Amino acid sequence: MDKLKPKFLSVVLAFVFLGAMVSCSKYDDTASDLSTNTNTHRTTNTKNKTTLDTSAFITKVYDYVYAPGQYASVAFSNSASNFIGIPGYLTVPTTTKTVISLGSWGGYIVGGFNHNITNVSGNDFIVLCGSSSAPEPGIVYVMEDTNGNGLPDDTWYELKGSESANASTYRNYTVTYYKTKSDSANVTWKDSKGNTGSLVPGYGSTYSSGWWKYPLKDSLVFTGTRLPDAYYNSGSSTKQNWVVYSGLFTWGYAENANGTDYNTTYMGNEFDISNAVDASGNAVKLNSIRFIKVQTGIFQQAGWLNEISTEVYGAADLSRLK
């Protein structure tokens, strides 16, 4: 569950994003970049007191688009730089690098490594989410650097997970969000299936007008795979108790500490490049990948939990962590 919002009815967690507003536009020179530094450095790992190879981790962020959500006002563009390098919770002493919230369904971040990650037998890389006590599953996509230009402008392939064949999973799904015309209104949306609705806060504010991060844009369009709803209210309308549906999201998703692929040492979910599929869901053979995209996969307002928003700290090549 979101590091920025309450995990359970009895627990309230708060998190503060740091930084000032800077541009992190698609593929430009202002994107957060450590890719020119190919030297290997090491830092102490708090989990097992070994040292970590910094070249294992993301070295550049190419794009970060926050979908409307309750942390729009603090999801500054430069927080994308926290996706680079070793997460603060794995360093000694721990640092103030904060988690990156992707917002409602469709919000995403694109990062790259300074080397290709080879598709070996078993899992190949890990998406780091920290000690997430309840899932907010994110879809993970991978890309080769086929044209060799060092940019994520080739073809994205989704990594399938346990819900890929679920009848409530929609591939090639699109949502358009619309900015409110006043502060006393909610963000509205329309999807590719003809459905419409509003993002209605269940906690923290009366209207979702403040969830809009891009004041110069009247609408935002996101496309990807939508997963089934993750939560249901086992309580009542006045005493809500949101719990995860049993048997869902067993593997293949980011920010899913309940998954069988969750690595308790590095606190993240492991992924196998061999699970790559194309836009039609057909298996694709990839020898290696250079870029990853993590996208919020759940489109659900869960009462006072508000939007189910994937949150991540980074990613790493497993072969360089061992």
Does the pLDDT of residue 142 top 90, yes or no?
yes
State the Cα–Cα distance between residues 62 and 77, nearest whole angstrom. Answer: 11
Task: Judge whether 309 and 301 are in contact, CB under 8 Å.
Answer: no
Q: Is the pTM of this model over 0.85?
A: yes
Does the pLDDT of residue 27 top 50, yes or no?
no
State the Cα–Cα distance between residues 146 and 154, nearest whole angstrom. Answer: 6
Q: Any bridge partners for residue 219, and if so which?
A: 178
Q: Binning pLDDT at 50, 70 and 90, where does residue 318 land?
A: very high
Q: Residue 232 contacts by C-beta under 8 Å, 6 or more apart in sequence? A: 242, 243, 245
Percentage of the chain beyond pLDDT 90 is 70
Lowest mean pLDDT among 11-15, 96-100, 221-225: 11-15
Nearest to 193 by CA among 163, 217, 223, 216: 223
Nearest to 296 by CA among 186, 141, 98: 141
The answer to whether the peptide bond before residue 93 is cis (omega within 30 degrees of 0) is yes
CB-count burial class (<10 Å; 0-12, 13-18, 19+) for 176:
middle
Q: What is the pLDDT of residues 272-308, one digit of tens each?
A: 999 999 999 999 999 999 999 999 999 999 888 889 9
Q: Any bridge partners for residue 294, and if so which?
A: 109, 140
Domains located in the chain, CATH noted: 42-165+227-320 (2.60.120.260)
